[in-house]
Amino acid sequence: MTAFRVQDYPLKNYQPRGGGPTKAQSGGLRALLSRSPWTYRLIVLAIIGGIWQAYATAAQLLLVPKFTDTMIGVVTLAINPDTWVAFMISNQALVVGFGISVVFGVLLGLGAARFRSIEGFVDPYLSILMVTPMAALIPILMMALGLDLSSRVVLVIVFAIPVIIVNSRTGVRQVDPNLIEMATSFGATEREIWVKILLPGALPAIMTGIRLGLGRGVTGMVIIELLMVAVGIGNLILRYQGNFSADLLYAVVILVIFEALILVSILRFIERKVAPWASQTVLRD
Amino acid sequence: MIEISGVSKTFPARGKDAPVLALKDVDLRIEDGEFLTILGPSGCGKTTLLRMIAGLAEWDKGEITVNGTPVRGPGPDRAMVFQAFALMPWATVRDNTAFGLELRGVPKAQRRERADELLTLVGLKGFENRLPGQLSGGMQQRVGLARALAVDPEILLMDEPFGALDEQTRRLLQEELLLIWEKTRKTVIFITHSMEEAVLLGDRVALMSPRPGRILNITQVPLPRPRAAAVDQIEGSAEFAKITANLWGQLREMQTIRVHAGEEPAA
């Protein structure tokens, strides 16, 4: 029997690379692309718009508007006060529901991290909320709370709060235990450890939870209006759908996306303001 | 003066693991102004012992006193320097340095002044407003040292403070620690697993052995002080070589006995 040799089993994907100094990157397209992420973003948008336009023109379907018509629809809606009223109505539920979600979600998350009793109380319901298809709750909410603002608010909360609770709790749990020990060694009380170590340490995770919760809250806000309470944005969508005004229907959806993007950008901005240490470069000595 | 007498600690059984006798009848006396290094292999309980002196860990039997007062928790007479630096990533270098002062309610202007003074001492002047994430490991541990010195403790407890640093940075910081210590003459208990570090820094080296953790013996280091300016000479001396070789011999013994007994060496 011959001896086993590692060399008899070459790497399948190994290609020797050329040595020597690295070549300077050529200009042109590469330089253009490396300038800003917006270059890529606009290129992607142009490609999607182009395919959309080509498909809509070729297919001539009643409910697929052309890209250009949709953009005109966006402008039409944006200058129409009725649109703004519809967005205001819908956003009432978001403002109230999301506000409640942030306050109680963060408190419950922090409480769950600190007290076993709160965790034991929150945990099973949280698990249920995380796996339940929320839309299935809508008929139940309707029957319990009726057609007014309160059922929309509750739905926004049900959508938004789980991720805020979970992120707040995880945020506290993942604070470096060395910091807690350090603070204890310098004589910190439990309250000081919370204020000076755990809360600042959990802040980035809490902010991420709030941002994710906002996205879910917007989803909840639109879904209940589409499925049950036809007011605000949901009402607009259903109306344009009924009228076969495909361009306006698409335009509403795009406006909703705009709103969500703007809100999330604001939260990202706040996140960077309050937790700037999350992204850092290291200095060598 | 720190007196440790008959301290034992058993970590209770967890799941399938049997209870671990972490420390057994540890006796140790550290004089005021002494630099004691504790040397031992991983798992010998040296960090546990230091955490007990710091008031961060409990023991089952025996007593630890600082200047005659039994240790019942952390106190203003002791300050700790951590292996993992333990800096708050959201606070500036200055605020990190002033953390102990902040907890004591020192007014902002005074703690700023004191922090800046110590940052100058450890060579970080000009970095006061940086965040720890912008500093290298060596600079971060300088902040850790400045933070401990800022509260002007009688006793510095250093838990493998240079263990996470590269060799070159470690040597620089050893020299600077000697320099600072020779100026301030605080009582220092310094944990390490490096023979050279233990001998270079310490007045005495306490050698610990594992399972159960106990003080095996204490070596006097007769090298002259001040040492900060003469590190190269000291490390090249026959005396230094003799002591470190002797310590290494004993440390190696701890490992080989265990292998021959059919036991895994400590990881």
What is this model's ipTM?
A: 0.89
Q: How far apart are the first and last CA of chain B?
A: 34
Q: Does residue B122 form part of some domain?
A: no
Which of A184, A187, A277 is the closest to B133 by Cβ?
A277
Q: B91: Cβ–Cβ under 8 A, 6 or more apart, which residues?
A: A200, B99, B131, B132
CATH number of the domain residue B228 falls in = 3.40.50.300
Q: What is the mean pLDDT of residues A130-142?
A: 77
Q: Where are the domains of chain A?
A: 80-242
Q: Which residues does chain A have within 8 Å of residue B56's beta carbon, measured at their own beta carbons?
A: 181, 184-185
Compute the distance between CA of residue A200 and CA of residue A203 in angstroms, rounded to an integer.
5
Q: Do B90 and A275 touch (CB under 8 A)?
A: yes
Q: Does residue B109 form part of some domain?
A: no
Strand order in the sheet with B69-70: B20-30, B2-11, B61-66, B69-70
Strand order in the sheet with B78-81: B78-81, B155-159, B187-192, B35-39, B204-209, B214-220
- B87 to chain A: nearest residue by CA? A179
Q: A280: Cβ–Cβ under 8 A, 6 or more apart, which residues?
A: B89, B131, B133, B134
Work out the minimum CA distance from A127 to partner chain B, whole angstroms: 27
Per-residue pLDDT band for A284 (boundaries 50, 70, 90) equals very low
Q: Does residue B239 form part of some domain?
A: yes
Q: Are B187 and B155 in contact (CB under 8 A)?
A: yes
Q: What is the mean pLDDT of residues A80-97?
A: 90
The answer, yes or no, to whether residue A63 has pLDDT greater than 80, is no
Question: In terms of pLDDT, which residue wins out, B182 or A126?
Answer: B182
Domain A80-242 is of which CATH architecture? Orthogonal Bundle (1.10)
At B106 the pLDDT is 93
What is chain B's pLDDT, residue by residue, as a tens digit (267 residues)?
A: 999 999 999 888 887 878 888 899 999 999 999 999 999 988 888 999 999 999 999 999 999 999 989 999 999 999 999 999 999 999 999 999 999 999 999 999 999 999 999 999 999 999 999 999 999 999 999 999 999 999 999 999 999 999 989 999 999 999 999 999 988 889 999 999 999 999 999 999 999 998 888 999 999 999 988 898 888 999 999 999 999 999 999 998 887 665 555 555 544
Q: Does residue B231 form part of some domain?
A: yes
Question: In terms of pLDDT, which residue wins out, B149 or A279?
Answer: B149
The answer, yes or no, to whether residue A19 has pLDDT greater than 70, is no
Q: Does residue B107 form part of some domain?
A: no
Work out the minimum CA distance from A273 to partner chain B, whole angstroms: 12
Q: Does residue B164 form part of some domain?
A: no
The answer, yes or no, to whether residue A42 has pLDDT greater than 50, is yes
Give the B-side interface with A, CB within 8 Å: 54-56, 74-76, 78-80, 82, 84-86, 88-91, 99-100, 102-104, 130-131, 133-136, 138-139, 151, 169
- Structurally, how many domains does chain B consist of? 1
- A199 to chain B: nearest residue by CA? B90
Task: Give the percent of chain A with pLDDT over 70.
Answer: 90
**Model confidence pLDDT, tens digit, residues B178-209:** 999 988 889 999 999 999 999 999 999 999 99
Q: What range defines the domain where residue B54 resides?
A: 1-13+20-77+191-267
Q: Does residue B151 form part of some domain?
A: no
At A199 the pLDDT is 93
Compute the distance between CA of residue B44 and CA of residue B26 in angstroms, rounded to an integer.
12
**Model confidence pLDDT, tens digit, residues A147-186:** 788 888 998 998 999 999 999 999 999 999 999 999 999 9
Task: Give the percent of chain A with pLDDT over 90.
Answer: 30
Q: Does residue B1 form part of some domain?
A: yes
